[in-house]
Structure 1
Amino acid sequence: MGLERAFLARLPQAQPAVQALAPAPPVGTSAAAPALERAVPPADRPVPVAAVSGAASDALSARDQALAVLRKSGARPAAPVPVEEVVQRPAVLIQPEKARDMASLLEQAQACQECGLHTGRAQVVFGSELVAEPDWMIVGEAPGTSDDRSAQPFDGKAGLLLQAMLNSAIPNASIYKAHLVKCRPLGNRPPAPEELAACRAFLDAQIRLVQPRRLLAVGHVAAMALSGCEQDLETLRGQVLSYTDTLGRSVPLVVTYHPASLLLRPQHKANAWRDLSLLRQLQAQP
């Protein structure tokens, strides 16, 4: 027994699983610190496997309970959004001069932000129903309030007057209508020079694609833009001018009063009728 006691004394003593008494905390340290330290082990202290397994089990249990509630209420978890819907569509490249058809030109006009008019528009007023190679293309300066609502050029009272004039002078002619700018200027003011310049490529592309046989410009701004002549309207009226499209084709051009101007100044209707007689003469030519 003496040898056994000496041998057993040399063996390392097993540490108790839980200390009976914790040492007193240092001065200035909260008494709750040891308990918090035991509850949240530091990063360099290994976490017991049993604790990790218990946390994972609790998370799975919470998930199962949530799914059970959804099934009981009949709701379904939201489906993930497809990746192709998250990716934004590429921006439209604004190059009217390269448009090959009216659909792509319209798409560019709707995406255009080259001037400030796009901020006040309700809709892009691009053009009337497309007619291939119409007898006449009517060009005004800018959309009005009614045009902005309907997305159709020459809508409202001015449009009705214009259509009545055309029906009297050239009743059987095919007609396509458009404006110099495609967005309504607020207050129905005339478009500014920079706005006309920003939208000019769209009008030139329209004329190139539509290929009208003749052009009618209504109003002074449209008359100057298409004729290239900075003269007053009375000087430009009463004669056949010319517009050269981007393909080098010369198109006969006639100018007259804007129908909105005729509503305000009925005394000009007699002169407007003379202009319509010129349209009738050109229409009769092969």
Structure 2
Amino acid sequence: MIDFQPISPLQRTWLLELGLERAFLARLPQAQPGGQSAPVAAPAQEAAAAMQTAQPVERHLNDAGSPSPSAPAAATDAMSARDQALAVLRKSGARPVAAAPVEEVVQRPAVLIQPEKAQDMASLLEQVQACQECGLHTGRAQVVFGSELLSEPDWMIIGEAPGTSDDRSAKPFDGKAGLLLQAMLNSAIPNASVYKTHLVKCRPLGNRPPTQEELAACRAFLDAQIRLVQPRRLLAVGHLAAVALSGRDEDLETLRGQALTYTDAQGRSLPLVVTYHPASLLLRPQHKANAWRDLSLLRELQNQP
């Protein structure tokens, strides 16, 4: 057993400041009034932990391993206790544990948000993921960008905002409403190629409708998607999508049941059909008959050259 020299209250304070554990310090003899002390043996494992946390003291040593002239006297006292820990390690044959290397933080370059200049879908997705133009990015699990990319699909289906299932899977229309939508498409235009997305790319908390400010913040991304995907026709599901794409601030019943027109930023005109959102049909099945009439219009447009 190694007899430790008693440490003073000043030494104890410094060792605490340097990070040594209280459990280790409690095992060291404390200087008592009258010169008496109660030596306590410390296990080699605790001494190794003390060595690891006491390493900051080394900055006060010069190349020869002795205290530099400018080192504080209290630091020298702390090193005395450190040397006692070294003695325990040498006796037990243990080695000090090396401090874990500090990982270098790599700062990524900022992404320039310019959807109108995106040359491909990968760069547009990167911009969407970096976007903080509205508060929706703070509550999302992940960006819901779009379905698997197709070259010039027959239809681009645009909803209002991602739901809870979409937010978990990062896939648009991924839930009961999505299953109903797919069944409707399979019955009306079974052989058509389809690309799906939403007006906004982040889920509003509580599955509420997106606000006008949120729609405006994300509109440039949607316009860039339409430009890059190059769909032949558009299907808007839900009132917000119908108004946003048609440019007509009218109720859904007025807009549906007819072939409308969407004009993109390049002046290209695309046929546009609007209908109920499938989530609305799950709550109001009486609208399914009208929805079927809208799907019949999709089939008529699909069969046109």
Q: SS in structure 2 opposite 1:104?
A: helix
Structure 2 residue runs of 5 or longer lacking an equivalent are 1-63, 69-75
Kindly tell me: are residues 249 and 75 of structure 1, through their superposed partners in 2, closer, same or farther at Cα, counting changes over 3 Å? same
Distance 1:130 1:74, change over 3 A: farther
Within 5 A, what are the aligned runs for 1:71-86?
Answer: 73=95, 76=98, 78-79=100-101, 81=103, 85-86=104-105
Q: Secondary structure at the match of 1:231?
A: coil
1:231 aligns with 2:259: no
Residue among 204, 218, 222 paired with 1:203: 222
Matches of 1:163 and 1:210, distance apart in 2: 20
Following the alignment from structure 1 to structure 2, what is the Cα–Cα distance between the partners of residues 168 and 151? Answer: 26
Match runs of 1:37-186 below 5 Å = 55=67, 73=95, 76=98, 78-79=100-101, 81=103, 85-186=104-205
Q: Which amino acid aligns with 1:140?
A: G
Pairwise CA distance, 1:86: 3.2
Structure-1-length-normalised TM-score:
0.74
Name the CA shift for 1:55/1:102 in 2 (closer, same or farther; >3 Å): same
Aligned to 2:259: 240
Post-superposition CA distance 1:190-213 (Å, at most 9, x none): 110000000000000000000000
* Residues 90/160 of structure 1: CA separation in 2 closer, same or farther (3 Å cut): same
Letter in 1 for 2:176: K
Offset from partner CA, 1:90-112 (integer Å, 9 cap, x none): 11111111111100111111111
Tell me which residue corresponds to 1:191.
210
Q: Structure 1 regions of 5+ residues with no counterpart?
A: 1-51
C-alpha displacement of 1:73: 3.9
| SS of the residue 1:139 aligns to | strand
Q: Please name the residue that 1:25 is paired with.
A: none
Q: Distance in 1 between matches of 2:65 and 2:292?
A: 94
Match of 1:275 in 2: 294
Q: Is 1:265 the equivalent of 2:261?
A: no
* 1: CA distance, partners of 2:225 / 2:65: 72
- Within-5 A mapping of 1:211-222: 211-222=230-241
RMSD, matched Cα: 2.8
The DSSP-based 3-state class of the residue aligned with 1:86 is coil
Distance 2:293 2:110 in 1: 48
SS of corresponding position for 2:157 = strand
Paired residues in the alignment total 231
2:301 aligns to what SS in structure 1?
Answer: helix
Q: Percent sequence identity over matched residues?
A: 81
Write the deviation string for residues 7-53 of structure 1: whole angstroms up to 9, x where unpaired: xxxxxxxxxxxxxxxxxxxxxxxxxxxxxxxxxxxxxxxxxxxxx99
Structure 2 CA distance for partners of 1:233 and 1:72, relative to 1, 3 Å: same
Instruction: Name the SS of the counterpart of 2:156 in structure 1.
Output: strand
Q: Secondary structure at the match of 1:243?
A: strand
- Higher alpha-carbon Rg: 1
TM-score of the aligned structures, taking structure 2 as reference length: 0.69
Tell me what 1:284 maps to.
Answer: 303
Quick one: distance in 2 between partners of 1:100 and 1:220? Answer: 30
Aligned counterpart, 1:5: none
Query: Residue 76 of structure 1: CA displacement?
Result: 4.9
> Per the alignment, do residues 94 and 169 of structure 1 end up closer, same or farther by CA in structure 2, a change over 3 Å counting?
same
Supply the AA of the counterpart residue of 2:161. A
